[in-house]
Amino acid sequence: MIKHLICVSALLLGFAITVSAQDSVPKNPMKAVPFTDVKLEDTFWKPRLETNRTVSIPHNYKWCEDTGRFDNFAKAAGLMDGEFRGIYFNDSDVYKLLEGTAYSLAAHPDPELEAAADKVIHWIAAAQRENGYLNSYYTLKEPDKKWSNTPVMHELYCLGHLTEAAVAYKQATGKTVLLDVVEKAIDHVIDTFGYEEGKKREVPGHEEIELALVKLYDLTGKEKYLTLSKFFIDIRGDQSKRTNRLQGIYQQDHKPVREQDEVVGHAVRAMYLYAGMTDIAAKTGDEALIHAVGKLWDSVVRHKMYITGGIGARHAGEAFGDDYEMPNDTAYCETCAQIGLALWAQRMYLMRHGRVETERIVEVRAEDLPPRARRRYGPGDFTDIDIVERVLYNGVLPGYALEGNLFFYPNPLSSKGNYGRQPFFDCACCPTNVVRFIPSIPGYLYATQGNTIIVNQYISSTATIELPDGVVTIKQETDYPWDGKLKFTFESVPNENAAEKFAMHFRVPNWGHDQQYGFGYIAPITVKWGEKFVQNIGFAMPVKRMVANPKIKNDNGRVALQRGPLVYCFEKCDNPDVDFANLTLAKEQDFQVEWKPDLLGGVNIIKCQDVEGRELVAIPYYAWAHRELTGMDVWVKQDGLPRKPKADDPVWSDTEWDGLLYRELDPATMFGESDPLTMQELTIVKASYCYPNDSVQAVFDGLEPKNSNDHDLPRLTWWNHLGTNEWLELHFDSPQQLSTFRVYWFDDEPRGGGCRIPASWSLSYRDGDKWVPVKTDDAFGVVKDRYNTVKFDSVETPSLRLDVKLQPGVSGGVLEIQVE
């Protein structure tokens, strides 16, 4: 066992600081070991890849068939009669499905699946126009309007996914039919877009083709594909280079990419763009681009990322919110966005560490790190490669059911029991994205730089890795993520002129930071060529209570449980005897980890105690909503933590947190007197109905709206109940003496939504077993952009009821209620 020494590059110890390279392009770049060279053999991921192959991929083929996605190509090819069906970007779902098929075939040859893919590929090839143009929507629906609305219509986005599929299919099967289609299609794009006179200087509204073109360049070596990718990146946000107007923040098209320093807009689009920018930065050594992606990286991991690796707080625009805006019950956290973050994180890792030669990596003892570094670079901080792991287990994995045929689109961190996975969606980006990402996981385990192999992810597997001096076979054995014990067996065959040894580096996960290993990478192990070598490594997996930056208001006074790479959550069905809405952990804990082989496919549960001494059970977050749909929370109240941390308290000061989002709970410094529960926390809110993406409790959470069209706050809407009678009830913990009621209506006009202020409303209070109208001379206001206040004769009551009549043909909602 290697002890005490860690291997941390200058970049790892300052990964939030702009990278400054000595040379424009690394002479010895770091490369990921291809997915085709790694075979998974574990009991955690391998069954999921098999479920993906036998259930998820066929499930998606069936849905693509039933919804006309395949037929659109046959129709465009003249092989079938009929009109285009579906949404204009549906071609992309077919392409992602083919990419996932390719990854799956590489791991497990399947003649039947390959034949199904080849049939679809034949239709795609037949649908291509003579000049290379390929898009079934425009070919069938608007043949004279091709390339007429690049910001909106996703032609380039679809081609990006086609390109990724073609590259993967060539790598997995050796077949080039789809690759030939792609090269012809991209040549048509080159003829259409560029700086030359008469060409369009526009960018895709939905980024994706940028990163895909770099993959095509890597496969073919043709410089023109790299040039085209760089063109789309260079002119984004730069009006001086464009023939159309900029599209703004939503599309990250508000200013030149080298000047962007905050992640904004549609989260999925942003991730694909930043991944493409990182690819180009790595290939070209463009210092301004390197600086930009470094600033953008800091923006997301230090200000806008959930503990699960989720990104994109807002349902409105599927977008990033402000810094530290992280609601739990209304978190959007689209599955596609989390996949995008993993794609970008992997590229950031390869770029940053590829610019530091492994020979220059510095060995540092954990105890020699300065105090600030020991505090900062622990379980609450995230490097790029740590985020890949975090997203794998907590961001992507929840996005599809254990059975493989149900999917999440948003991934909230809290639920009242009204949200579950679905078999498919009209906009099916998430199901098809999952089935392409899951089988690509073997490509995330290893990287190489020269004659050094770097182990980044821990999954039982066998890898055959080609180095300049020979070929190394690595067998990795582990019960990860349930156990941190790892065994590596190396066998190698050197070339004639090989050096005496090759080197190995092993990632120390951010959650594995301790005095044994410190943080970063374990000091390099050198292995003699031609000799069989065994190395054992172990990371302890204690249960950690994590606390959030005090600026994340929704998590004040709360903790989340984490063990190893897994974030845990509490479900009501496991804790039926507690007041789930006010579940509070005791200060002193004796965490017990128990293996449950027959629960949720086999999981370690965590047992702990609430403030009353009752036993609580937590399960891995990825496994929630697989049984009955009951309440769920990742962040739960913690006895002894302040619900409103004071800015002048050193423990919660900006200096102490220094940009961190999450840290391990320190009982010695963080615990104090518990704040009493607020009226909002003790009040139970009920409603006649609540749209699943909204929150009943949001109407009484104390958050102040900016206006009636405030999409940044959680809300309750009755969508899509139109013109109906609806109600809201507040049930207090004890009878309250009240005489004032205020309601702030939600109305999304002129944004185009279907919610408006109501036609009328009334207010009643509970008296015994009856609802009695309040006595008032005030009007029951239906005015936008302010509280509508009613003062009434004072009553003592355990409950209030708001009865609402919606306007004909529209729905409505409430942002906030206040009572006195």
Q: What positions carry a catalytic annotation?
A: 318, 429
Give dist(CA 267, CA 506) in Å, integer: 31
State the residue for tokens 């897994």: 566
Helix 69-76 vs helix 111-127: angle between axes, to the nearest 10 degrees?
A: 40
Which contacts of 642-649 are long-range, i.e. CB under 8 A and separated by 24 or more positions?
Answer: 642/556, 642/557, 642/672, 642/675, 643/556, 643/557, 643/675, 643/678, 644/556, 644/557, 644/675, 645/550, 645/556, 647/550
Q: Is there a contact between 765 and 800 (Cβ–Cβ < 8 Å)?
A: yes
Give dist(CA 455, CA 451) in Å, integer: 13
Give dist(CA 285, CA 94) in Å, integer: 34
Q: Is there a contact between 354 and 26 (Cβ–Cβ < 8 Å)?
A: yes
Secondary structure (DSSP) of 92-156: HHHHHHHHHHHHHHHHS--HHHHHHHHHHHHHHHHHS-TTS---HHHHHT-GGGTTS-HHHH-HH
Please state the φ and ψ torsions of residue 530, each to the nearest 5 degrees. 85, -10
Strands 446-449 and 452-455: antiparallel
| Beta carbons within 10 angstroms of residue 119's beta carbon | 11
Q: Is there a contact between 757 and 783 (Cβ–Cβ < 8 Å)?
A: yes
In the structure encoding, which two tokens stand for residue 757, read together?
A: 């202020």
For residues 446-466, one letter each, b for 16 or more C-beta atoms within 10 angstroms of the residue's C-beta and e for the rest, the string is bbbbbbbbbbbbbbbbebebe
Q: Is there a contact between 526 and 497 (Cβ–Cβ < 8 Å)?
A: no
Give dist(CA 7, CA 363) in Å, integer: 5
Q: Is there a contact between 738 and 791 (Cβ–Cβ < 8 Å)?
A: no
Q: Is there a contact between 302 and 387 (Cβ–Cβ < 8 Å)?
A: no
In the structure encoding, which two tokens stand for residue 734, read together?
A: 């004890």
Q: How far is CA 706 from the centre of its chain?
A: 28
Q: Residue 523, SS3?
A: strand
Give dist(CA 257, CA 291) in Å, integer: 10
Q: Is there a contact between 487 and 508 (Cβ–Cβ < 8 Å)?
A: no
Strands 446-449 and 31-32: antiparallel
Residues 6+ apart with CB under 8 A from 495: 468, 469, 470
Give dist(CA 714, CA 721) in Å, integer: 19
Residue 581's nearest CA partner among 570, 568, 592 is 570
Q: Is there a contact between 412 and 333 (Cβ–Cβ < 8 Å)?
A: yes
SS3 content of the chain, % helix, strand, coil (to 5): 35, 25, 40
Q: What Å distances lie between residue 81 and 24, 71, 77, 93, 659, CA to CA?
A: 54, 9, 10, 22, 58
Question: What region, left, alpha or beta, does residue 591 occupy, with left being phi > 0 and alpha being psi -120 to 50 degrees?
Answer: beta
Residue 477's nearest CA partner among 48, 47, 40 is 40
Helix 177-192 vs helix 209-220: angle between axes, to the nearest 10 degrees?
A: 120
Burial class of residue 287 (count of CB atoms within 10 Å of its CB; 0-12, 13-18, 19+): middle
Secondary structure (DSSP) of 442-504: GGGSEEEETTEEEE-S---EEEEEEETTEEEEEEEEE-TTT--EEEEEEEEEE-TT--SEEEE
Residues 6+ apart with CB under 8 A from 627: 571, 573, 600
